[in-house]
Amino acid sequence: RIISEKNNSNVIITKGEDIHPGSSHRFWGLHAHDNGSMFFEIIMASGYQTFSINSSFVSDVWNHFALVYSGTELVLYLNGLEVWDSPLSGNLQNGSYDISVGYFPHTNLNVYGYFFEGGIDDINIWNIALDSTEIQNYMSCPPTGNEIGLVGYWNFEEGPGSTVVLDQTSNGNDG
């Protein structure tokens, strides 16, 4: 749920640190703007790539976003329906940075980084490309945590006062 009126970029999820666009410290990130557009950045073996996405989501209501990389294409699903795609191929780059949900660490401008303005719930990371039917199924019935290809699943249901977000898979990616 992205709050309107802020007129800024909200980082939904990212891996890396914001030193400058295209640096070797920004591996990937999905950003949403309160005007209904999105931005995705990724470092592939071939270099840094950015994608502006006009997804036309509505602010101030819950939306479901799924970004899928198949090895040849990048596809964005909004509320279970494909709304955008773009050719993309190559090997994903990875690094030692943690995954950040609702936060983008920044070293040059804001010592604290950038924070998401709104609510985030149910984050899933898979190492397989889900199709639209699977995405729609998991929207209605969340994963149990032991599905093949599920790398991390955070449902944010730890309860009041909890300071740790538990990974619902056996991979132990608690945050």
Q: What pLDDT digit, counting tens, does each position of 70-128 carry?
A: 999 999 999 999 999 999 998 887 777 888 888 776 666 555 566 777 788 999 999 99
pTM: 0.85
Q: Which of 66, 64, 52 is nearest to 9 (CA)?
A: 52
Q: Which of 60, 80, 75 is nearest to 139 (CA)?
A: 80
Q: What pLDDT digit, counting tens, does each position of 125-160 carry?
A: 999 999 999 999 999 999 999 999 999 999 999 888
CA–CA distance from 5 to each of 53, 65, 119, 120, 137 (Å)? 20, 21, 15, 18, 32
